[in-house]
């Protein structure tokens, strides 16, 4: 599969990336529910990685939020 820079992964049907393919670079922000970090996917694509604090939301709520952002 070829992934072009700037293409939304949702259009390609990709919901989750392999953790070992992402290098976390720096924290972009944090709040009540977790932290967002800048990451590099496959060494070349900038991605935002949202990490949820344990117990702050259910898995269903997380996936609903992710679907809204896509």
Binding residues are: 50
- Most distant pair of Cα atoms in the chain: their distance: 37
Binding residues for ATP, as ranges, are 50
Cα 62 to Cα 4, 16, 42, 50: the distances in Å are 26, 13, 24, 10
């Amino acid at each position: 599969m070829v992934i072009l820079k700037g293409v939304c992964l949702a259009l390609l049907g990709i919901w989750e990336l392999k953790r070992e393919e992402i290098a976390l670079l720096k924290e972009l922000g944090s709040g009540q529910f977790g932290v967002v970090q800048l990451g590099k996917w496959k060494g070349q694509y900038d991605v935002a990685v949202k990490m949820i604090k344990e117990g702050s939301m259910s898995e269903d709520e997380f996936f609903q939020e992710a679907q809204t952002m896509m």
